[in-house]
Structure formats: structure tokens, C-alpha cells
Amino acid sequence: GKPGASFISIPQDVTDAPVSVKAIKPMTDPKLGSASVSDINYLAQAIKNAVLPVFLLGNGASSEAVTYSIRQILKHVKLPVVETFQGAGIVSRDLEEDTFFGRVGLFRNQPGDMLLKKSDLLVMTQSNMKHVTGMLKFQHVSSLLMLSRPRWTLTSNRNVN
């Protein structure tokens, strides 16, 4: 997430209500610094094992350094890319024909949306999870790998279904 304070107000009747599910296990602390070799290998293996891996690139990938890195990856490994509107222009013109499948649409009816629906692995670089979480409710993605900013390390691997 973004640095800074947050305040969440939960109504009293919600906090007092009985629950019948087990508590969520604590997450592991994120690794600071560059991605570890094991994280890079894990990501590479997950992409290799996927039937249809797709990059979803948004605002979190739009900085000059990250855009450059993604373009270098796509020059060597032709993976399909869908952009959010905040990620427009990350895929360069010379890579468009082999990798770019459009943007996510407001009504989930664009070619990029159709590709996301068929993907079995979604690799994301996002900083605004609110947009993506709403979008994924309607997708059939079996795995999600999140590359988090500002560290750019693999911080989440979970089944979406």
C-alpha cells in the first residue's frame, strides 16, 4: 500500500457480532530490497507452468525505471499484456503487435477483459488494488502474483477462486 496513516471505523454491532470462521493467519513480513533469487525463480516457474499467463500493468508500473524493465522482459519473453488506463503507454510501439492486448474496460467487454477472463495466471504491478479487486470478482483467474511497490518484490501468491 501507500505510506501513511489509515483509519478504519467499524460499527459496534459488527465488532460485537459472533463469527463462525477461523481467524486469518498472519502474513509473513515482506522482504525489503531487491527481489530475491528464489522469488525471481518462483515467478519464472509460475509463468512457465501457466497455460495463459498475463501481465496486468497499471500505475504501479508506469515509472520510467519500471517501464524500462518491463519492456526489457517483453523483448525476450513475449507475454500478453493488458493495461489499466493508468498504465497506458507502458508497452512500447515496437512491442505492441506481439504483446499488447488492450486495456481493461468499464463494462468488462474489451479484448483485454476477455484475455483476463481466460488467463490462469495474472501477474500484476499495481498500486491501486481497489480497481483490481473489483475487476477480479468477475474473472476466472486461478492464481495471482502481485509485484509490490516500492520494493518490487513478490509479496502475494494466492488462489483467487
What digits encode the pLDDT tens for the residues 105-117? 777 778 888 888 8
Residue 47, SS3? helix
Contact by Cβ (8 Å): 43, 143:
no
Q: How confident is the model at residue 129 (pLDDT cuts 50, 70, 90)?
A: low
Instruction: Look at residues 107, 102, 114 and name the one whose alpha carbon lies nearest to residue 141.
Output: 114
Residue 141: which of 53, 30, 27 has the closest Cα?
Answer: 53
**Cα dihedral: 128, 145, 106, 85 (round 10):** 60
pLDDT tens-digit readout, 59-76:
878 888 888 888 998 999
Report whether pLDDT(156) > 70: no
Residue-wise pLDDT tens digits, 17-40 = 998 888 878 877 766 667 778 878
Query: Residue 70 is placed in which grid cell?
Result: 518491463
Tens digit of each residue's pLDDT (9 = 90 or more) over 4-21: 777 788 889 988 999 888
2, 36, 48, 130: CA torsion to nearest 10:
-10
Looking at per-residue pLDDT, the higher value among 108 and 99 belongs to: 99
Check if the beta carbon of residue 81 is closer than 8 Å to that of residue 111: no
Amino acid found at 47: I
β-partners of residue 125 are 57, 147
Residue 86 contacts by C-beta under 8 Å, 6 or more apart in sequence?
58, 59, 62, 128
CB 124 within 8 A of CB 157: no
The pTM of this model reads 0.66
